[in-house]
Amino acid sequence: MYIIIVGCGRVGSELAFRLFQKGHQLAVIDHIAASFENLHHDFRGRTVEGEALNQDVLLRAGIKQADGLAVVTNSDTLNAVVGHIGKVAFQVPNVIVRNYDPHLRPMHEIFGVQIVSSSSWGAQRMEELISQADLRTVFSAGNGEVEIYEYIVPPSWDGRRLDDILPGLECVPVALTRAGHSHLPNGATIVEKGDILHFSATLDGIRALRQKIIPFQEN
């Protein structure tokens, strides 16, 4: 794939090298030439100095041939506008923009492109790691609105139905592994201690589940 990255700070340079290592062709745009020094010394993609709002700069970077566009500067306004230009004017198939300030996320949502809000996601992950150490996150969708968790069934849950454990629609079972074999569980599934349970949940779902876990642990 041919991918253009706008912004060569910490995020952009790291993303560029990761994609380069996977064999993709890269062009990195930044209006400050010194920013390209952030790139890994083994990076072999193109660098284009200039303002990404300038159509000539985008054309020099090869946006007409781009399969993907990631706009990751620390300016939410710039990210939103360049992402919109890439999607609408140049019809880039896959456009991702960085949301730097969580308060400005609604602006990005108006443009209808994929958003990565590193501040919101990072804060949520830290909250989970501090307050939910017994639940391990194995996959995060979007910006962490829905995640898949792994939990080893404790002795206090032995013989219980999942309907009695998981708190409704905000917390849904995905897989149950017992003795190395997995299957798709449902509400009527009875768990045994030592089972590995994977379930998807919202943050509200996890909070509700923890309220149920505590009484089970006290029994």
**Residue-wise pLDDT tens digits, 124-163:** 767 765 665 567 888 888 878 888 988 888 888 899 999 8
Q: Which fold has domain 126-218?
A: Alpha-Beta Plaits (3.30.70)
Q: Identify the three-state secondary structure at position 149.
A: strand
0.75 surpassed by pTM: no
Domain boundaries, the chain: 2-116, 126-218
User: What confidence tens digit (pLDDT) does each residue in 178-219 have?
Assistant: 988 999 999 999 999 989 899 999 888 888 887 776 554 444
181 CA to centre of own chain:
29
Determine the length of the chain: 219
Distance between CA atoms of residues 35 and 102, nearest Å: 24
Name residues whose C-beta falls within 8 Å of residue 194's C-beta, 6 or more positions apart in sequence.
152, 153, 178
CATH fourth-level superfamily of 2-116: NAD(P)-binding Rossmann-like Domain (3.40.50.720)
